[in-house]
Amino acid sequence: MVDREKIEREAEEVLKRFSKILEQYSFQEVEEYYILEIKNVLREDSEPSVDPSFREKVLKIAPKTRDGYIVVEKSRWE
């Protein structure tokens, strides 16, 4: 059988001890600063280069095409 009074006394003692420990610490808000070396690792923008045969190659490997476009199945939301 559970001794409710004993559990309440023990819980109260735990809270008192925990409160005493917390009194030792100061919880004032302190600002923290992080200095990071940030580098732009992206390439420089330039005019895009397009391989003229790219479209032809893609259409060759596509499973189904029509009028120069890839045909795909339209999916339903489930």
What are the pLDDT digits (tens) for 18-45? 999 988 887 777 777 777 777 777 878 7
> What average pLDDT does the segment 1-22 reach?
90
Phi-psi region of 68 (alpha: psi -120 to 50; beta: other; left: phi over 0): left
The overall average pLDDT reported for the chain is 86
H/E stretch holding 13 reads helix 4-23
> What is the pTM (predicted TM-score) of this model?
0.35
> Residue 43 falls within a domain, yes or no?
yes
> Residue 31 falls within a domain, yes or no?
yes
Which of 34, 31, 35, 15 is CA-nearest to residue 23?
A: 15
Q: Based on the structure, what is the number of domains in the chain?
A: 1
Range of the domain at 47: 4-70
Model confidence at 1, in pLDDT bands (50, 70, 90)?
low
Measured distance CA(50)–CA(55) in Å, rounded: 10
> Residue 75 falls within a domain, yes or no?
no
